Structure 1
């Protein structure tokens, strides 16, 4: 059953005040962005799973996986659109601290005392930031194909932004014709058909015009920051798994020292035969790894 909100076991959290979420040291972070989300009901009251997608993604990327995991584990599963993505609100700010405060605010809204955060790429860095800022909220952590390290040396995302910003779109076309027109313009920059189709999930019609629903301006303005990670000194000590693609460069041995410094109770695994989008390339292996981490068959 698809729901839009949830009250977990009748427990209310103490709210820090209208529109305010507390960060490290108790400092007010300002008003967070309201996030779009879907909730898949579960049969039990075990800690829910919360999925955070990667750059240019949306909550729909994990919807079929979320349904399967809810059936397998009996848990409630929440899929979330990060700020400036999907149906969530836009903001000119895209720091990991600000995006973490969005998640904290959503947990408060859904009255979740704790959750298990599962984040891919951008969502993985938001998840890590949230665990490091508010460890009492995160029972366990799953980080998918990203680390608390610099990633700009091998990421293709700046090229994708350039291609998407250069696209021109006619408005008197059907949706399929508009997608074909845009895909042809992306082709010289994005050779992989699967990645082009992924980027095209951001093409939507609004008020008779085709537009990108992802806030390209905000992403472009913060790309250098998005490729880094905030500095933390206090580790997150709860169970954590870093799940990398076997053919992906995003988690390598050079990242292990920083992973272990910030996440000392972590394990690092790779799914053979997958690239950066593990959940799309081998969804069953991806779900099996999560279930094994949760101790669920």
Structure 2
């Protein structure tokens, strides 16, 4: 059975902080309505390379998106491409690097901030370019896209957790409270999405360290959460998903033909 999907990428969210601070998501998991997995992100633990990894299933050393300053269109096929080619509708409320990877580059705010173009991989979009753009606004952007366009595949990508980490570091109240704030916002929308039939993944590109950065191999930089919610998921606590398998797994949920690796253990038989 085909399902619509929402992928939430909470930029810069470390696994332990997600585990300890996201009380609403954990309540759903404790009630048997979701499952939390520990993921190890690919290397380098940097944003643009890992957006590409999550959305195409290709490691940075193979995609050529090796650091944040590689500003070009992706040469890989993404979740958005597979969904669009299957006749589905795509949308994203996300940082402008996502637009540069899959729609047009360089990003032109006047042209690209609000996107409605059926020919593009991301057909409907609200894109932002400042790291302190409020998560509350970003989630509202995403919900507006959902209500207006009923996308089959929607990316929601806020930046405030990562911004707090770069300003204050991993072991700070500011960083932890940014995660708590995202959990509160998610509590406002997640039940609506599930009631509308969406299958929801909540994950992160990379974590954060006490140097107020990331990019290396420290566990706090590489370990990120993966929450799954919805009837398409097995909720098997023995599953061991990898970051490169998220694209293919979501294509399976969408019923979109693809050639990506996937984690079958995440899905109901």
Task: Check whether TM > 0.5.
Answer: no
Which structure is larger by alpha-carbon Rg, 1 or 2?
Answer: 1
* Greater relative CO (CA pairs within 8 A, separation 6+): 2
TM-score (norm 1): 0.31
TM-score normalised to structure 2 length:
0.33
